[in-house]
Chain A
Amino acid sequence: MKYEVDLLGFYGKYGGSFVPELLHANIKELENNYKKIISEVAFQKEYYSLLQDYVGRPSPLFYAKRLSERYKTNIYLKREDLNHTGAHKINNTIGQILLAKRMKKNRIIAETGAGQHGVATATVCALMGLSCIIYMGEKDIKRQAPNVARMKMLGAQVRAVSSGSKTLKDATNEAIRDWINNPIDTHYIIGSVVGPHPYPEMVTLFQSVISEEMKKQLMDKIGRSYPDRIIACIGGGSNAAGAYYHYLDNNKVELVSVEAGGLGIHSGKSAASSILGSDGVIHGSLTLLMQDQDGQIEEPYSISAGLDYPGIGPLHAHLIRTGRTKVLYATDLEALTAGFLLAELEGIIPALESAHALAALEKINFRKQEHTVVNLSGRGDKDMQAYMEYKNRKKDGKK
């Protein structure tokens, strides 16, 4: 594979481990153990059996007929929204909780933006009987209230983060600081393909089940194992990394990543991290991120809490810089519109994050015979408030 990490944890020039020495022992312990543990037969068996019986995998690959007609092409939805807890995030938390147990960690911490990763972490902690602390920005606690309630019902402690932009970036800082302060008994379940090596690689592997299933499902449906194009949104990039993984070396598959354009990418209020980004270090990895001329990380904005992050995973930085993936963006408004369109045409309410991927359909020139897969990373229950506000605004004749 051309797109694997090297020995120091770099994808090309991106990645690595830029962490304070205070965190070095934790990261090293993980790095030294995780490959061995996850390749054990017993681990694999337990992982896949939980994915099947608990998560409900394989997630369907659904031919979206009316959507296909509208765009005059063939569109399939990879239904990660149908997973237990409502998003792809649980593929990763199942893997990491099994790892944590084998490493004898009994205290789990995680950050969350949209709350989907927080819920998925709280869920597996309940399942395994481990204690769970979730860091979440104050702003996100307000806009993703249903998920906060779910985490609490699942027995997790939700800690509000009030530093910086009070969103995902700052929640991640706090989770990392917690891990520094609790180096022995704690495992940090990071929620995306971000952070110091080996996290980006590990989370990619746990999410790669998405493209693993797609290969079989496409073979059944269209007689070949690959599509012409895959579209996914990127916050940190975990659902995209999982949907791309088994196709990275297959250049017949066009990979399209969709970033959050917020109020417009030149409005100063967006989370178009790679489009506006430059090389820099965030959360322990060298990648593309939004920063000022002094290297201060900028506060992003998106209506979607899961995409409201100023960086992207280092694998994506590498894929973008080598031209393997193409990056588009969708604004808040375009995403909301796409969300309503999917509800109307297919009876599916997508998460606002996934709605960004769907919005990209408007920006691509399709050929009729092509097969495009949109990774529908999650369901929209958590976003009903934002959808309804938009609808009411439209009814009142405002934008």
Chain B
Amino acid sequence: MGKNRLDKLFNQQKEEVLSIYITTGYPKIDSMPILVEALANLGVDFIEVGMPYSDPLADGDTIQYSSSIALKNGINLDKYFEQVQYVRSKVTIPLLFMGYFNQLLRVGIDAFLSKCVQSGIDGLILPDMPPELYEKKYKATFEKYDLSLSFLITPTTSDERIRLLDKLSTGFVYVVSTSSTTGNVTAFSDEQVQYFKRIKKLKLNNPTIIGFGISNREKFLIANKFTNGAIIGSSFIKALKHAQNIKTTTEEFVTKIKKG
């Protein structure tokens, strides 16, 4: 391995890695490339490029809503990969496909991953990919294409299972901050901090990134004490909902997180 942009990022940078999630096709059908370019220019470190799904079980209200709008706007896989390919010619920032297992299964795992590579995707996040099945059936294909797959861990995941998921993950391990699809409170609870400490103590092989419910600079900084960085999703999507100009909104949003 070596070419993978995400691996390169984590080789160079161990701290305060900031990732932003966006829903392709939202708020407008062609917003994604504009957002990716803006985020890259603002020094965001990698982007989770969401492909909307009809039945997004792991998503809370905000992202569900953005997905349903995006689907109504007419987003589909062809357009998704077209937009990724287009923006890839302009930016070097790592881009991850975020979606659901059925989207790969329908196209065929090999064919799907091949499209990812061709368009310039560096890795995937698939909340409902079963780790046992991945190990048995799909790991080799992901490796063939040098695409990372980051498994999720949650406060209810046992240490033993965290080890397994760390072993199977490439790129990073996605630390879900709460046992909840809607963790939108303004500060972390003591329980959550205990859980972050537990993760830190486990000294995983992969970098760790906290996601779900990161809504402000304070939470981003706390996350950084225990892990290599954080992903912001719902909070950014919410900001886009009322944006007059998505570029300015993005600038304001990222500056607030990075500089306060």
- Name A residues whose Cβ lies closer than 8 Å to a Cβ of B: 8, 16-26, 163-164, 169, 173, 176-177, 180-181, 183, 278-284, 286, 291, 293-298
Q: Chain A: interface secondary structure?
A: mixed
B179:A183 contact, CB within 8 angstroms: yes
B153 at the A interface (CB under 8 A): yes
Instruction: Give the number of residues in B that approach A within 8 Å (Cβ atoms).
Output: 39
Name the distance in Å between B36's Cβ and chain A's nearest Cβ: 21
B132-186 residues at the A interface, CB under 8 angstroms = 132-133, 151-154, 156-158, 161, 165, 176, 179-182
Q: Would you list 19 pairs from A and B whose C-beta atoms are within 8 A, ordered by A residue? A: A8-B132, A19-B130, A20-B128, A21-B165, A25-B156, A25-B157, A25-B158, A163-B64, A163-B68, A164-B55, A173-B57, A180-B58, A181-B180, A278-B106, A280-B105, A281-B105, A284-B57, A297-B54, A297-B102
Chain B 179-210, CB-CB to A under 8 Å as 1, else 0, gives 11110000000000000000000000000000
B127:A21 contact, CB within 8 angstroms: yes
B157:A21 contact, CB within 8 angstroms: yes
B86 at the A interface (CB under 8 A): no
Q: Per a CB cutoff under 8 Å, which of A26, A177, A296 touches B57?
A: A177
A296:B105 contact, CB within 8 angstroms: no
B69 at the A interface (CB under 8 A): no
Q: A173-B57, A295-B102 are in contact. Are A21 and B176 (CB under 8 A)?
A: yes
A294:B130 contact, CB within 8 angstroms: no
A20:B127 contact, CB within 8 angstroms: yes
CA distance A21 to B103 in the complex (A): 18
Name the distance in Å between B207's Cβ and chain A's nearest Cβ: 18
Q: A22-B154, A25-B157 are in contact. Are A180 and B180 (CB under 8 A)?
A: yes
CA distance A181 to B179 in the complex (A): 6
The 5 closest A-B pairs by CB, nearest first: A295-B106, A25-B156, A20-B58, A20-B127, A21-B152
B76:A24 contact, CB within 8 angstroms: no
Name the distance in Å between B64's Cβ and chain A's nearest Cβ: 7
Contacting residues, chain B, for A25 (C-beta < 8 A) = 154, 156-158
A284:B133 contact, CB within 8 angstroms: no
CA distance A26 to B179 in the complex (A): 11
- Name B residues whose Cβ lies closer than 8 Å to a Cβ of A: 53-55, 57-58, 60, 64, 68, 71, 76-77, 100-107, 127-130, 132-133, 151-154, 156-158, 161, 165, 176, 179-182
Q: Per a CB cutoff under 8 Å, which of B103, B128, B180, B182 touches A294?
A: B103
Q: Per a CB cutoff under 8 Å, which of A24, A173, A280, A281 touches B156?
A: A24
CA distance A386 to B64 in the complex (A): 33
A291:B106 contact, CB within 8 angstroms: yes
Contacting residues, chain B, for A181 (C-beta < 8 A) = 179-182
Name the distance in Å between B34's Cβ and chain A's nearest Cβ: 23
Contacting residues, chain A, for B127 (C-beta < 8 A) = 20-22
B156:A20 contact, CB within 8 angstroms: no
Q: Per a CB cutoff under 8 Å, which of B71, B104, B130, B152 touches A22?
A: B152
Q: A8-B132, A25-B157, A181-B179 are in contact. Are A296 and B68 (CB under 8 A)?
A: no
CA distance A23 to B180 in the complex (A): 10
Contacting residues, chain A, for B130 (C-beta < 8 A) = 16-19
Q: Per a CB cutoff under 8 Å, which of A21, A23, A280 touches B106?
A: A280
Q: Which of B100, B153, B156 has the most CB of A within 10 A?
A: B156
Contacting residues, chain B, for A20 (C-beta < 8 A) = 57-58, 127-128, 152
CA distance A268 to B211 in the complex (A): 39
Q: A280-B105, A280-B106, A294-B76 are in contact. Are A24 and B157 (CB under 8 A)?
A: yes
CA distance A280 to B54 in the complex (A): 13
Q: Which residue of A lies closest to B152 (CB)?
A: A21
Contacting residues, chain A, for B77 (C-beta < 8 A) = 294
Contacting residues, chain B, for A278 (C-beta < 8 A) = 106
Contacting residues, chain B, for A173 (C-beta < 8 A) = 55, 57
